[in-house]
Amino acid sequence: MISADDFYKVMCAMVPLYFAMLVAYGSVKWWKIFTPEQCSGINRFVAVFAVPVLSFHFISQNNPYQMDTKFILADTVSKILVLVLLSLWAMIFHGGLDWLITLFSVATLPNTLVMGIPLLKSMYGDFTQSLMVQLVVLQCIIWYTLLLFLFEYRAATLLIQDQFPGSAAASIEKFEIDGDVISLDGRDPLRTESEVDGNGRIRVRIRRSTSSAPDSALSSSIGITPRASNLSGAEIYSVNTPAPPREFNHGNTDIGFCNADLAFGYRSAASPRLSGYASSDAYSLQPTPRASNFNELDTTTVTTSNTPTWIRSPAGGRVFRQTSPAFSGVKMVWESPGKGQAGGDKQGCKDVGLGEKDLSFRNDTKITENEETESKPAAAGNQEMPRTLVMLRLILIMVGRKLSRNPNAYSSVLGLLWSLISFKWGVGMPSLVKHSIKIISDAGLGMAMFSLGLFMALQPRIIACGMKMATLGMVIRFITGPTVMSAASLAVGLRGVRLHTAIVQAALPQGIVPFVFAREYGLHPDILSTGVIFGMLVSLPVTLLYYILLGL
């Protein structure tokens, strides 16, 4: 039975976190204390320093030689079980990869670092901190990597289907990716070039096109002078806020940050000067890239067999130039889901950023009329893909490059390596280094919740995806997830307090990293945003209810 003293301990641990979130919310929503530029700096600090250092601090102090095997196995089995069930559902009922990724994210990836450690520690004791840290390590190294793999596979599949329809893709022998291409999410404009040898094998090269437009008909007809961008004039945006009319938004204007449990976005304010900083760049420990404002415009230019075709990225709405000799004469244009559908802006230059209302970013490909238009649907129905090894190599390269720009990936790996060395040979961290890390990590939890408050304050609606979808998401997050976890825990023999810990941990609010990925790859970000915001509001009473029921 839960006593009043036990309940008070939990409230003492959680109220300070929610107080930090409330103060941030009021600072933007009511008191107008922080400017957008100041909020950008706060979130950048949290993304690059506070939360990664917090992760390193917890992981480096956890003994990896005393891992709770049953607890880790229960968590792993529950996630694998959900993935298998969703895969069967997708195959049998044609649910599709898109919903498989989204439902897996909602059901199995909670906010373990920021919410889980203080909450479970107050409920069941200090030993739960070690259990939560073990799950954080697995999330950062295994499950987020798997999620990123699925997103990149989806982006690569859509790209191949649209540029190599029918059986043509089966002839692709190799993908060559330039070193400055970080992802296929479509947030950077890319150019694909393909060559066909005498045996009919295709070699595809994927390049960034930021420096290629000046010599094209597009840039010369528009007559825009390229300009380096900066981060001045940035403003916080919500996932629902429509872009200002005629503002040339681009994926590179999105300032987002990703860590174990936190992410936000920004876009430049009323200026065509575009930042070269994408949300994926928040992973980076390198200087912020600077991109020109070329190739950031959608176009419906008429192309011929000798002119490169400009194509909107299937993953995120960016521009590709297709020069494949195998498809000369095919003219394809990607339309923005939020633009041009309600009487729209059909001019030569228009916003190729996020849609105004449709945050699911559906695949709205439009094929201009030509001799091959009639055969396109038939070819799509018989779509073939490159060989498994070719696809696997492409996706692994993209995932590796994406992870190389993630500060939290570095902090998790370095923390694990140090703990292996420290607890194996009894090597202590020098006091100078230890206290330097501690002074930043101590700010991590509070700053993380403060940044969540900033994010919540800038949303026009807490429920961005509609009541029906929000209700389904909450049921999956707070009922289905804990149910699957309890079944997996009982199956592996987990009992007592550790069983209760596993169930409450599965009922934590939605993690932020899945929202960051969904936002970058244009896959149901409205659902994940609602899971983050609304989930934070209802998670405390829900977890307290689980705590009371399990204590009966």
pLDDT digits (tens, 9 = 90+) for 420-455: 999 999 999 999 999 999 999 988 889 999 998 888
Confidence of residue 397 (pLDDT cuts 50, 70, 90): very high
Three-state secondary structure call for residue 299: coil
First to last CA, the chain: 5
- What is the number of alpha carbons within 13 Å of residue 389 lying toward its C-beta? 2
Exposure string of 229-253, with b = 16+ CB inside 10 Å and e = fewer, is: bebeebbbbbbbeebeeebbbbbbb
* Structural tokens at position 472: 């389904």
The two tokens of residue 195 are: 């060559």
Provide the b/e sequence for 310-337 (b: ≥16 CB within 10 Å).
Answer: bbbbbbbbbbbbbbbeebeebbbbbbbb
Identify the CA nearest to 139 among candidates 157, 120, 114, 156: 114
Q: Which CATH class is domain 4-151+404-550?
A: mainly alpha
pLDDT in tens, 263-318: 443 333 333 333 333 333 333 344 444 444 434 333 333 344 443 433 433 444 44
482: part of which helix (H) or strand (E)? helix 481-491
Q: Which residues contact 250 (CB under 8 A, 6 or more apart)?
A: 274, 293, 296, 318, 352, 353
Residue 478 phi/psi, 5° resolution? -105, -10
* Residue 157 confidence (pLDDT) above 70: yes
CB 180 within 8 A of CB 284: no
Tokens, residue 450: 């403060």
pTM listed for this prediction: 0.72
Question: Any idea where the domains of the chain sit in the sequence?
Answer: 4-151+404-550
pLDDT at res. 165: 84
pLDDT at 224 over 60: no
For the chain, percent of residues with pLDDT exceeding 90: 45
CA distance 225 to 336: 24
pLDDT tens figures, 226-241 = 444 333 333 333 444 4
The confidence band for 83, taking pLDDT boundaries of 50, 70 and 90, is very high
pLDDT for 170 equals 87
Neighbours of 369 (CB within 10 A): 8
Which residues contact residue 82 at a Cβ distance below 8 angstroms, ignoring those fewer than 6 apart? 103, 104, 107, 108, 484
Determine how many CB atoms are found less than 10 A away from the CB of residue 224. Answer: 19
Q: Which residue has the higher pLDDT, 382 or 487?
A: 487
Confidence of residue 494 (pLDDT cuts 50, 70, 90): very high
CA angle 384, 386, 391 (to 5 degrees): 130
Q: Report the chain's C-alpha Rg in angstroms.
A: 24
What integer best gives the mean pLDDT of the chain? Answer: 75
CB-based contact 202:196 (threshold 8 Å): yes
